[in-house]
Amino acid sequence: MFYGYISPEYAMGGIFSEKSDVYGFRVLVLEIISSKKTTDFYLYDQQLGFLAYAWKLWKEDKGLELVDEILGDSYSPSEVMKCVHIGLLCVQDNATDRSTMTDIALMLSSEIDGPQPKDPLFTIPNSVSYPN
């Protein structure tokens, strides 16, 4: 299921908390890195949306492939990987597994990595077949 900028708990149950904003923040982080809109991205041959694609690259240690090619070599690979990591921590399905914005600010401004993100549900391959 795709929620866009809306957290799963809000989209499905109307529950809003400080962690709902964290979910939306991840979209901005990953969209800035890639210059791709989450809502406009879909790999039909692999049946992957943007977040599933980002997760797949992260798990394969290819997170830098998210970076927009137009940036060339003008970025720090370690900073980009930190941002991808943080973006995936923010997208956890269960709100209690998401970092707080305070934790995120600390991770962005220091060498603290934070926990490893858990496999989110959005990575389950879509069973619906879409035409190219």
CB atoms under 10 Å from CB of 35, counted, come to 12
CATH code at position 41? 1.10.510.10
Tell me: the pLDDT tens digits for 6-57?
Answer: 666 666 777 777 676 676 777 778 888 888 876 666 666 666 777 888 888 9
Composition of the chain by helix, strand, coil, percent to 5: 55, 5, 45
55 assigned to some structural domain: yes
pTM over 0.85: no
In a domain, residue 43? The reply is: yes
CB neighbours of residue 112 within 10 Å: 10
* Local structure of residue 42 (DSSP, 8 states): E
Helix, strand or coil, per DSSP, at residue 105: helix
Can you tell me the distance from the alpha carbon of 8 to that of 20, in angstroms, rounded to the nearest whole number?
8
Give the range of the structural domain holding residue 79, as residue numbers without chain letter: 15-114
Strand, coil or helix: what is 74? Answer: coil
Into how many domains does the chain fold? 1
